[in-house]
């Protein structure tokens, strides 16, 4: 036992330091992942609100679509504002903008075919 001359204590410090550094890295990664998942959740909620609003707004239309319209729809997770952008012949372009409770914004423009009574094109817009 006299041959060790103080080797155990430095080895314990090195192993403990490595363990503590790994633990700190794991906690940091957990926090980053948690923020990322919260952002994804907010984005999906904003997208879902827009999908709900498109279904609700276009549900009553067949061929007699109103010439001018706009409005707001409120849901438990946020609100959606919609307005007619362009109305020519067979197609109408309608913009939907959703805002979640945590101020996440989602915007789309749909191209609605009045004769077919369905959405033809779905254009997602970048938000600031």
Q: What is the pLDDT of residues 10-29, one digit of tens each?
A: 899 999 999 999 999 999 99
pLDDT at res. 126 = 61
Single out the residue of 73, 70, 71, 120 nearest to residue 92, CA to CA: 120
16: tokens are 């403990």
User: Are 105 and 46 a contacting pair, CB within 8 Å?
Assistant: yes
pLDDT at res. 63 = 52
Q: To the nearest whole number, what is the mean pLDDT of the chain? A: 84
97: tokens are 């903008």
State the Cα–Cα distance between residues 25 and 21, nearest whole angstrom.
6
Q: What are phi and psi of 31, to 5 degrees?
A: -65, -40
pLDDT at res. 3 = 62
Single out the residue of 45, 107, 109 nearest to residue 76, CA to CA: 45
Taking 70 as the pLDDT cut, the residues of the chain under it are: 1-4, 60-68, 126-128
pLDDT at res. 22 = 97
63: tokens are 């061929």
Single out the residue of 92, 80, 82, 85 nearest to residue 121, CA to CA: 92
User: Which DSSP helix (H) or strand (E) runs through 13?
Assistant: helix 8-58
User: Are 78 and 46 a contacting pair, CB within 8 Å?
Assistant: yes
């Amino acid at each position: 036992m006299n041959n060790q001359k103080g080797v155990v204590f430095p080895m314990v410090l090195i192993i403990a330091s490595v363990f503590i550094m790994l633990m700190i890295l794991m906690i940091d990664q957990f926090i980053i992942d948690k923020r990322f998942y919260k952002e994804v959740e907010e984005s999906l909620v904003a997208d879902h609100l827009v999908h709900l609003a498109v279904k609700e707004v276009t549900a009553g239309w067949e061929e007699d679509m109103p010439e001018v319209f706009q409005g707001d729809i409120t849901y438990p997770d946020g609100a959606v504002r919609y307005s007619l952008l362009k109305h020519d012949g067979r197609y109408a372009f309608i913009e939907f903008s959703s805002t979640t409770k945590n101020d996440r914004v989602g915007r789309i423009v749909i191209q609605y075919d009045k004769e077919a009574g369905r959405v033809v094109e779905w254009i997602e817009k970048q938000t600031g």
